[in-house]
Amino acid sequence: MLGQIERGESSPTVATLWKIASGFGCSLSRFIAAPTAQGPLPLFRDARSVRAKPATDDMLVAPLFPFDAAMGFELLELTLLPGYVRESEAHANGVIEHVTVLRGALDVLIKGQWHPLAEGQAVRFAADLPHGYRNLHDEPAVCHNLIHYPAMP
Residues that bind Mn ion (CB under 5 A): 88, 127
Nearer to Mn ion, 24 or 43 (CB): 24
Nearer to Mn ion, 88 or 135 (CB): 88
β-pairing, 96-103 vs 122-126, is antiparallel
Nearer to Mn ion, 33 or 127 (CB): 127
Residues 6+ apart with CB under 8 A from 104: 80, 119, 135, 137, 139, 140, 141, 142
Phi-psi region of 111 (alpha: psi -120 to 50; beta: other; left: phi over 0): left
Give min distance, CB of 44 to Mn ion, in A. 26
Give min distance, CB of 1 to Mn ion, in A. 19
Give min distance, CB of 97 to Mn ion, in A. 5
Task: Give the distance, in angstroms, between the CA of residue 46 and the centroid of all CA atoms in the same chain.
Answer: 17
Give min distance, CB of 103 to Mn ion, in A. 20
Give min distance, CB of 120 to Mn ion, in A. 21
Nearer to Mn ion, 104 or 108 (CB): 108
Exposure pattern of 129-144 as b/e (b: 16+ CB <10 Å)? eebbbbbeeeebbbbb
Nearer to Mn ion, 127 or 142 (CB): 127
List, as one string, the DSSP characters of 13-31. Answer: PHHHHHHHHHHTT--THHH
